[in-house]
Structure 1
Amino acid sequence: MSLANKENTASRLRVLVVDDSGFFRRRIVEILEGDAKLEVVGTAANGQEAVRQVLALKPDVVTMDIEMPVMDGITAVRRIMALRPTAVLMFSSLTYEGAQATLNALEAGALDFLPKRFDEFSRDKEEAKRTLRNRVRAIGLEGLRMQQAPAARPAPAPAPAPARMQPPVRRGDFRLVAIGSSTGGPVALQQVLSGLPAGFAVPILLIQHMPASFTPAFAERLNQQCRIQVKEAEDGEALQPGVAYLAPGGRQLAVESQGARVILRVYDDPAQHYRPCVDQAFSSVAAAFHARVLAIVLTGMGADGREGARKLKQGGASVWVQDEASCVIYGMPGAVAEAGLADEVLPLGQIGAHLASSV
């Protein structure tokens, strides 16, 4: 093998594909191997075999089915995280039961998920292939980081000086908190919200990139785990203090002032790539609340939230972002920080307590 080929192979992310369906394994292998930056190093037909393969092959990423014989995917994720932490992308069915199982897998340590049927997240076959490859590449970088000793991890770059266009709102003057997140967001949101007291003084909007069939189960889970009330947002309902409203998957969430009341608007926008979209939610919040908003951007791919944060800052609102070291993917918070729109850059473990003391 030439030196160039050796270097190319060394730079590729190593992937293990796990599924009890031989057809699905072959399909995933074929798609991933169409990407020059990915190398499938092995396959497994059940969770037990997956654990053995992870220890033997040391992949950077594992794609994992949930329902399998011998050992299911959730148990396999727990074993892998205990023995050799590795980035895991789950494949799940878009049902209520599938959502619950996927959320269990994320709590066990999986980083992201996709629908098992490609036509459920894209009707364009080529776009579906690109989505899968992009997700594997994105969490693969986190997988490499997971394998490093904590002392060897690079320190996050210092955040640019915040850009404030209006005088800051005094602590306690916020009337709304809006939180945007994507990859890694379900676990991050759980950690932030569980740090809030039952008497939290203002309403919270949660804009998490998530399929429509997942948000009812996710809202229910958060409501059980947190001291504040968490529910899926409904069109036309008035905002109430101490309630967190989760944007329904596949739709958009906005707020609308009606005299002394502010109500939620849930609507369809098929032209928008992200459904729900953080930028659109933040923009409506900026128009309704101006400076009296605290927006938080958590872990996620891409830059959704940056332009919405810009509008919020123009009105004098405050913006926090999660720091790079604690993110699964630093894309969304990184885009806000790099644009000079972040007032504070905080580790995930500090955001809940900081939020509770700031509102």
Structure 2
Amino acid sequence: MLRNRLKVLVVDDSCFMRMAIRGILAKDPQIEIVGIAADGVEGVEKAIELKPDLITMDVEMPRMDGIAALKQIMAKAPTRVLMVSTLTCEGAKATFEALEAGAIDYIPKNISDSAEAQSIFREELLVKVKLAGSSLIPMGTGIRRTALTSPAAIKKSLFSRKVNCVGIGASTGGPVALQEVLSRIPANFPFGIMVAIHMPKAFTGPYAERLNARCSLEIREAKDGDLLRPGQVLVAPGGRHTTLVRQGAGLMVKTDPTTAFPQYLYIPSVDQMMHSLAEASNGSMLGVVLTGMGSDGFKGMQFLKNKGGITLVQDETTSTIYGMPKACIEGGVADEVLPLDQIGFEIARIAS
């Protein structure tokens, strides 16, 4: 029985957090806590010794921080690592650095006296640990290369359709995947790009700034009233849902509180962004779904396909979590399925 359980190592300098995480995970019969560590040095040692299936890793720790520990673990004993991050600007920057160094995902450190906050943390921790435990182990920060297999006939039909804008959705593994995609698109790209990625409010602004510094396109967090412009990428703000509406000849961003769309579990919702963009553009758009857990994006892509738009999704081999792309593929709404390192080039090709 034990051999089938997910073996987890908990690394955190806070005794309270170690006990909180251990207490939550140990109650699940599918999970076995094989060890705890109080800092990065001990975390690296126990990762090598215990060979866990997954590690929960704090970022800020004495002796060796979580990012330094992560890099050593990925070099000496590659393991799935879930970062436990503070909901601050600095916490966001450290988290993105960790994801680029090979972490699978992150969970906001949001334990307080609030019963609701504790419940949210417990549920998110369990879901992300189980999903991360079944994901691919990252091998460094490079992108796995695979051959393009899409039939030429499909490509020709895609190019015949009109595109005026692009919508991209992602979740787990998305921060690194999106950077890979956008870095392949030139600054003179003729259309605007709208992105919805599941992130908390404190993370989307720093993430957009990070992308802007690493890509040729202009990238920033979206705000109410923004127009989708050529060569510009707008990242939907965390903590709210984003809708695109027709404004004269352009497309305008409108953000809404989560209470406006209670049917959506994930925030910001890819389905809401994609559906509204397809409606506002009358289907003259390209929809892209990248790696992520769950099925958010499927209904939006389905609506887009019915409107005559183009749909493209990431393949299983290069996805950290295959949930979102898989839902689109199995639902029959994916026109093309490509490895991550070819998606940016294909976006540029379709738009031209």
Q: TM-score, normalised by structure 2?
A: 0.91
Query: What residue in structure 2 maps to residue 248 of structure 1?
Result: 237
1:116 is matched with: 109
Change (3 A) 1:208 1:15: same
How many residue pairs were aligned?
337
Tell me: CA distance 1:120–1:195, structure 2 relative to 1, closer, same or farther (3 Å): farther
* CA-CA distance at 1:240 after TM superposition: 0.7
Matched, 1:13 2:6: yes
1: CA distance, partners of 2:300 / 2:161: 22
Q: How far apart are 1:121 and its partner, in Å?
A: 11
Q: Is the Cα contact below 8 Å between 1:293 and 1:317 reproduced in 2?
A: yes
Aligned-residue CA RMSD (Å): 2.3
Q: Which residue of 2 is the match for residue 235 of structure 1?
A: 224
Moved more, 110-119 or 44-53: 110-119
- Percent of aligned pairs with the same amino acid: 46
> Is the contact made by 1:319 and 1:341 (CA closer than 8 Å) also made in structure 2?
yes
* Partner SS for 2:116: coil
> Which secondary structure state, in structure 1, belongs to the residue aligned with residue 202 of structure 2?
coil
Which residue is 2:199 aligned to?
210
The Cα of 1:172 is off from its aligned counterpart by 7.7
> Aligned to 1:78, which of 68, 71, 76?
71
Per the TM alignment, residue 261 of structure 1 is displaced from its structure 2 partner at its CA by: 2.1
Relative to structure 1, the CA distance from residue 69 to residue 222 in structure 2 (aligned partners, 3 Å threshold; closer, same or farther) is same
The answer (yes or no) to whether the contact 2:107–2:124 under 8 Å persists in 1 is: no
Note if 1:60 corresponds to 2:53: yes
CA displacement at 1:130 relative to structure 2: 2.2
The one-letter amino acid of 1:41's match is V
1:197-346 superposed matches below 5 A? 197-270=186-259, 271=262, 272-346=264-338
Q: How does 1:92-171 map to 2 (within 5 A)?
A: 92-118=85-111, 123=116, 125-142=118-135, 170=159
Task: Quickly say closer, same or farther: Cα 1:120–1:212, change in 2 above 3 A.
Answer: farther
CA offset digits 1:279-319 (Å, max 9, x no partner):
00111012111231100000111000011111001101111
The range that moved more, 15-24 or 253-262, is 253-262
Q: Distance in 2 between matches of 1:122 and 1:88?
A: 27
Which structure 2 segments of 5+ residues have no match?
A: 140-145
CA deviations over 1:228-272 (Å, ceiling 9, x no partner): 000111111222101000000011111111221221111212323
1:170-185 residue pairs with structure 2 within 5 A? 170=159, 173-185=162-174
Aligned partners of 1:127 and 1:87: how far apart in 2?
22
* SS of equivalent residue, structure 2 residue 321: coil
Report the residue type matching 1:197 in the other structure: P
Bigger drift between 265-274 and 134-143 goes to: 265-274
1:356 and 2:348 are equivalent in the alignment = yes
- Residues 129, 302 of structure 1: alpha-carbon distance in 2 compared, 3 angstrom cutoff: same
* 2:40 matched residue in structure 1: 47
Q: Relative to 1, partners in 2 of residues 1:235 and 1:100: Cα closer, same or farther, differing over 3 Å?
A: same
- In structure 1, runs of 5+ residues without a counterpart are 1-7, 148-154
The structure-2 alpha-carbon separation of the partners of 1:122 and 1:177, relative to structure 1 and needing over 3 Å to count, comes to: farther
Task: Give the structure 2 partner of residue 28 of structure 1.
Answer: 21
Distance 1:122 1:226, change over 3 A: farther
The alignment partner of 1:213 has SS state of helix
Deviation by residue 1:116-145 (Cα, 9 ceiling, x = unmatched): 1235998253443222111001001125x5
Q: 1:169 to 1:354 in 2, by over 3 A?
A: closer
The equivalent of 1:4 in structure 2 is none
- Please give the alpha-carbon distance, in whole angstroms, between the structure 2 residues aligned to 1:316 and 1:172: 8
Change (3 A) 1:283 1:121: farther
TM-score, normalization: structure 1?
0.89
Cα distance in 2 between the residues matched to 1:212 and 1:117: 13
- Deviation of 1:57 (Å): 0.6
**Residues 161 and 310 in structure 2, CA contact (< 8 A), matched pair in contact too:** no
Change (3 A) 1:169 1:146: closer
